[in-house]
Amino acid sequence: MCYYVVTNFAYGTGPYIRITELGFAINDNLDKMGYETLHIILPHIYGNKQQRILVEEFGERANSAELILDENLGNLFRQTFYENESYAEYLKRWIDNHNLWERKINQYLKMTYGGDIVCEISRSPRISLSTSPSYFTSFGLITQVLAESSNTPHISITDQLLCTAKKEFARIEKHYKRKYISEPGTFRNENIESNISTIERVPPLSHPPENIPAPEHGEGIYVTVSGIPGLDRLYSDMSAKEYHIYANDTNIISEATEALPWIIGDDAIKWHIARSGWGSVWLSIFTETPLLVPEWQPGDDPEIYFNNKRLEELGIARVYTGQSLEALEQFRSECIKNMKKLKGRIRRAHDTLDGIELVAKSISRHLVKTEMDSND
């Protein structure tokens, strides 16, 4: 018999990488426990680029029968994503359509995979699937991002729109009986809604890097490209200091040398420049590489506003506002020291930095207890 796990994730590169990583880790744990592994259904949203990045991350395992890249499902998911619009426009479109999107996606899953989907794993989901059991992983609750947005003058989204969206996202979040929220995440531990008993705080939801290649051209900076504007002066400062620029996408930064993000772990990489998505942040923390993030722009996802604020509060990143390289250099040693302290706190709390492995073990045990044995 062939059983499946369906993935449900938000827009961007990091979410589908991290949820695939979790799916593989769950299978590894099921295999160790003597149970049949699952086929991982992954919406194929970003075409050849998505497939290439998965191979870069996971090698030939990404091309194996274990992973099902479903293009039809990807087309259905794509319309649920925030892209090329203001976040207020996206929220309005999402409110008007998400129930219809959910019905179409759930109908497609039932028609294509029947009753053989045994669970759902999600990363900050934007829709609710009818699959049970379902497991939620994220850096925080979207309901809290929306609630905090209404109290923030910089975020010009109407209270009515935020309130309506919060009610709908509360329904989605309530569906998940087991929620794993990373630390660090968008909000401080004590600011997470304390009355939600289904939340478990966990380490960063990513495997720490193991094999770290040396940069091809010596000392430099690494840019994780995600459409980062306004960094021209910084590139000039770095060039003046004879720092080489490495990036994951040289179509966007033509003067850079293309390299995978793992080189960030080499001491030759002096700065990591990235939008403050948590996948990039966690990589900087793991490797103790000082992080520069661009300013939040009005109209962007409010999560990024709160992420920037949280990172500066932790002292592990600087928001780049045109500072000179000399001014930024004074921050480097302080940033590295704060990252070391943060890693120490996480280890003392969880005995590991690897949230993926911890969550995979928890989900695997729960699956075996509630689903796998009953299906034998």
Tell me which H or E stretch contains 6: strand 4-9
**43 confidence band (pLDDT: 50, 70, 90):** very high
Give pTM, 2 decimals.
0.92
In sequence order, the 6+-apart residues with CB closer than 8 A to the CB of 17 are 53, 54, 57, 279
Q: What is the pLDDT of residues 320-349, one digit of tens each?
A: 888 887 788 889 999 999 999 999 999 999
Q: What is the pLDDT of residues 109-165, one digit of tens each?
A: 999 999 999 999 999 999 999 999 999 999 999 999 999 999 899 999 999 999 999
Helices (H), the chain: 13-32, 47-58, 71-78, 87-113, 142-149, 159-175, 232-240, 278-287, 302-314, 325-350, 355-367, 373-375
What does each C-alpha distance from 151 to 118, 162, 185, 314 come to in angstroms?
40, 11, 19, 21
In the chain, % of residues over pLDDT 90: 71
Q: What is the pLDDT of residues 50-94, one digit of tens each?
A: 999 999 999 999 999 999 999 999 999 999 998 889 999 999 999
Residues 245-271 have a mean pLDDT of 86
Sketch the domain layout of the chain as residue ranges. Answer: 4-207+354-375, 220-350
Q: What is the pLDDT of residues 235-248, one digit of tens each?
A: 666 666 677 889 88
> How long is the chain?
376
Cβ–Cβ under 8 Å, residues 44 and 11: no
Same CATH fold, 220-350 and 4-207+354-375? yes
pLDDT of res. 196: 60
Chain position carrying tokens 């969550």: 359
Cβ–Cβ under 8 Å, residues 16 and 45: yes
Query: Which structure tokens are listed for 290?
Result: 């000082």
pLDDT of res. 326: 78
DSSP one-letter code for 264: G
Dihedral, CA atoms, 349, 352, 355, 359, nearest 10 degrees?
-90
Q: Judge: domain 4-207+354-375, CATH 3.40.50.
A: yes
Dihedral, CA atoms, 200, 206, 208, 209, nearest 10 degrees?
180
Q: How many CA atoms lie within 13 A of 311 on its CB side?
A: 31
The better pLDDT of the pair 230, 371 is held by 371
pLDDT of res. 189: 66
Dihedral, CA atoms, 62, 68, 71, 73, nearest 10 degrees?
-130
Please state the separation of Cα 9 from the chain's center in Å: 9
Give the span between the Cα atoms of 186 and 182, in whole angstroms.
9
* Average predicted confidence (pLDDT) for the chain: 90
Rg (alpha carbons) of the chain, rounded to whole number: 21
Q: Inform me whether the pLDDT recorded for 262 exceeds 50.
A: yes
Q: What is the pLDDT of residues 191-234, one digit of tens each?
A: 555 446 679 999 999 999 987 888 888 888 898 876 555 566 66
What does each C-alpha distance from 375 to 26, 66, 95, 130 come to in angstroms?
17, 19, 37, 19
Q: What is the pLDDT of residues 270-288, one digit of tens each?
A: 999 998 999 999 999 999 9
Q: Is 232 buried (19+), middle (13-18) or exposed (0-12) by CB count in 10 A?
A: exposed
Query: Which structure tokens are listed for 23?
Result: 């799916």
Q: What is the pLDDT of residues 94-105, one digit of tens each?
A: 999 999 999 999
Q: Inform me whether the pLDDT recorded for 166 exceeds 90.
A: yes
What does each C-alpha distance from 181 to 75, 103, 170, 201 come to in angstroms?
28, 27, 16, 5
Cβ–Cβ under 8 Å, residues 243 and 325: no
Q: What is the pLDDT of residues 297-307, one digit of tens each?
A: 888 999 999 99
pLDDT of res. 198: 79
What is the fold of 220-350? Rossmann fold (3.40.50)
CA 259, 263, 268 angle in degrees (round to 5)?
115
**249 confidence band (pLDDT: 50, 70, 90):** confident
pLDDT of res. 192: 55
